[in-house]
Structure 1
């Protein structure tokens, strides 16, 4: 086991300008779509005028009909991301995607937030293949952790457990009432007015895969996009600036709520900053889940807002992120395809570590959970074509 000091900081915070490579979509039937036109036709567009906000929209309406994807189907299928990368490479004359790391945006958000969110454990598995590192959360550990969270909620009593569940639902409900399936100009009045009666689900996901990085490390990150602010430009270099992150929070009625919101806003900033998303829309609800207000934040302004009110410093977090990514890339040999590794953060001991995994975890990760036979065969075909 190797450890990395939590006070480590990089000299640079230079994040490579994110650029969208491709998108893919998970539909209501839990099927994945990669065709660009079909995917873009499933994008959502933000539309929530002040006149709608003043109606005090009920964000728990339709809760009993919520179509929630089972947790075991919502772990982030790495094979589907690899399938998208393969299609991208096929469309670019079989040219291998030039990055050092392939992973999900959510996992890198967890790493970035550790300096100011040190109570949550992190366990990420890493395998090297074809000169690149592929990083994914461990399915077994993550499933057990979610089951423990569920048991903890249930132990708080039925009423409290239902309240927590409704808090989660209210976020999805806000997305449903704040978006349209087409731009406003192309939407019928009936469609706009009926949004509140739409059955809410968390199956449907619009996912963007971007090329970015920190310091010398180039990365491909996949992350969910909530909606589009106005339109989708044709240029891949401009698309990310038109995406919007949607969030909900309890109304701020005191210093404690304000401090809680600042921590939440920090995590939101990390999510958006890594993806190049420039706007965040927050819906504020009361204890009865009635929407009281909506506020739009510019991602680049969030660090200024929160550093003056709390001890959170986004630049400091970026310096940690740059240092820890550089450490992982330097410590995991990219030319050794026989091993698997796990990077972990333990909040109890406050220890950040890297360790080599033995069988059977090694075989599990290299054969299916992270790397798929289809993707390995594709990459081998690229090598053969270049010989």
Structure 2
């Protein structure tokens, strides 16, 4: 698959970009948030085996954008997920699982000619390169998504009015790597035009998807959006940009640029200044889905009109909910509990320890040490 270059995908002219926005559109849209992207069936070994040794697998679903959608719905927001799945049993499973979490799937299309994507994953952290990991602490991830139903998304197969039907449209860089049509769709949805919703973009650089292609496309797309999430490590890998200030210089257009730096915390740049919030200590059970959970927590707090520091703290708390359970999607923290923890003074926040203990239907408790 070759990405188009030249006039079909120009770098945006900063003068053509919409004015930076820090205020959400009025709360009159049908949905609080619309999330668009691929969701696949994920198969995990039932035990700690490597893929070569596993005989029994547990089935689930996984997709960066639908993970965010499920967490936002669990936090009480009106959410729609838009994607494309095969007219097959795995497609049935994806739709049933996401709908069961309170997410609208009425705009998802079924493709009778292409399959639903599938991937296999062991436990552990994602490898930072495209090579098969030799470190047993790193996850093996094996994708079967080439030619998937989702890769057929394009401006011709996705109704822009559906995608723009929320107060926020959340996208990720994974979609841009799936096909030329998917890339064109993201350029279409992020084009400056009147009435466009607030655009949220998680860079989500996946080394294997960009092999032999230029991930500067992700920088172009990020410049067209209002809220951008990027990991410090992926910025170095994708663009060779190192450091929070250097990233803001490369991405001055977004109203909010959130730079995540693992266990060290997250920094948000806005037109009003910069806020850094350290990450709380977390007892990690499963490392999958924390980045999507952070975005969901931040967006939920944004939809509620909370101040920037609280948005970052809600991002950390929702990420902790994902880190303290196995699998891709956790239940979001109980809102009253999360609001209480997000309002702690800096000293108490610094003493926060988050673990997998739960109340009924709630997220992780914060265990505050004296």
TM-score tier by shorter-chain length is: under 0.3
Tell me the TM-score normalised to structure 1 length.
0.27
Q: Which has the higher contact order (CA 8 A, sep 6+)?
A: 1
Query: Which has the greater radius of gyration?
Result: 1
Tell me the TM-score normalised to structure 2 length.
0.28
Identify the structure with the greater helix proportion.
1
